Structure formats: structure tokens, C-alpha cells
Amino acid sequence: MSYGDFALQYDRILVPRRFHRPGRDLLARVSGEGIGRLLDIGTGTGTILDHCTHRFDLAVGVDPSLEMLRVASSKGHARLAAASLPSLPFVSNAFDAATAGFVLSHVPAIPEALAEIRRVVHPGGSAAVSSWASVDNLYRTIWTETLEEFIDADQVLEETSRLVPFEEELEQPGALGQALDQAGFRAVESWTVAYAILESTSDFVEARSLLLSSQIIRARLGTQQWRRLLDRAIERLTGASDGMLSYIVEVHMARGNAN
């Protein structure tokens, strides 16, 4: 199971609501004079590439999902390849900069993944990475409690952890910067950005439904029970709000220079 199983929904729902602003801000940390060739790793449907117009001489996106790449291609992104860390199909020192937004939680091993990024970025070039921070809020708690009414949460967590083995580790402040430093990047900086979200209860549930953990639950419950779960979640969320949900999500980011 992967985001590629619902690439069109991902691009229509999650990209504008969750990934657009973090992608823009991550890219800004590697943009600048002398940056002509960019590699976006885990490009998905081209979220970071969407911000690259006229900024780079060459912007290349890679992703393991052909479904994601097809959507990226339909948006006009031509330089795409099916690939993933830690095996990128490029010669050493091929790029001036690399981005990897919300990617490191998915890789088999973080040190090997970062070593591969260092390999394809020329000495003096830069890399920037991001991960979700752990931020609890009332609406996320209601969603989680509703899931637990229908399924054993521990079993879902175990399966999700196999798909994103480093998600909890990278939720910690400073974890990304430490990983870059240990991988040999220089002048490492790390920071956290807060993003305000305002959306309806139905939009919130629609977005949460596309998470990998939700897709696992949906597959286990079946269509009828999953529909009941969503109705219950909307009922509880509506009772806890005026129909519009206002909350904060945080994203950890880090950048460093390759040797």
C-alpha cells in the first residue's frame, strides 16, 4: 500500500492543503545564485517542482511510484524518473542542490539515504529535508479515538511502522539536523515551521482518510464499516466545533552543504 494507490486524490486534496506551503519553504532554502540543477527526491506529483518555474536551469524529480509520476507529468513536469533512495540513477556530483520533502521517514535506512544524496550533490552544493512534527490537537485526538472505536490501533500502528519506519524518530525536534550532521553534511541548520489550517469538518476527514494508516484501516474494515467510521468522525468533530476547524501543524526542516 502506498500513496500511489490514490495519486489523483493525493494531488487534489493533500497537496494544496498539506504539502504546498512546506514544499515552497523547503525549496527556498536551496534556491539562490549559482543553483542551476535541482534534484527533488520523492517528488510525488511534483509538489516541489511546481515551485521551480524559471528558478533552475534543470529540475529533475524522482519517485518510486509510477502513478505519482504520471500525475506529475500531466502537470507539465517532463524530467522525471522512477527511482528511490538509496539508489539514485545519476552520476556523482550531478546536481547543485537536492530536496527530499517528507521522504526520510520512508527509507530503509537514513544514513545510507543521506549518503546517496551527498553522492549526487556536488561539493559545496546543498540538500534540504523535511518531516512532520508531532503536534496534538483536539481534532486529531477525536479522529484517533474514533478509529479506536472500530479497530485495534496497535495492529494498525505496527503495519504503518513497516511502511514509514522512521516517522516517530523524525518527529523529534533536531532529529533531521542531527542526521545530516552525522552523514557528513557541513553548516547544518535545522528549524521548525508552523502552518495554520482552517478547513471544514468534511475536508478534515477527507484529508485524514488519505493517510497510509487510514488506508490500512479501510482495507481491513471494508466499505460499509469504513463509511460508518467516517460518519461517526464527522458527527463527533461537528459536535466539538462550529463546522470549521482551526489548528496548527508543524514541519521540521534541515539543510546542509555537501563536502
The pLDDT value recorded for residue 205 is 96
H or E segment to which residue 113 belongs = helix 110-120
Range of the domain at 46: 3-257
The pLDDT value recorded for residue 212 is 87
What residues contact 141, with CB distance under 8 A and at least 6 apart? none
The pLDDT value recorded for residue 34 is 62
Please give the torsion angle defined by the CA atoms of residues 224, 225, 227 and 230, in that order, rounded to the nearest 10 degrees.
180
Task: Please count the other Cβ atoms lying within 10 Å of the Cβ belonging to residue 174.
Answer: 13
Q: Which CATH number do you get for residue 184? A: 3.40.50.150
Peptide bond into 86 cis (omega under 30): yes
Q: How many CA atoms lie within 13 A of 194 on its CB side?
A: 6
Return d(Cα 97, Cα 77) in angstroms, integer. 18
Residues of the chain with pLDDT under 70: 1-5, 32-34
Query: How many folded domains does the chain comprise?
Result: 1
The pLDDT value recorded for residue 3 is 64
Q: Which three cell numbers stand for residue 105?
A: 521517514
Q: DSSP character for 201?
A: H
Q: Which three cell numbers stand for residue 188?
A: 547544518
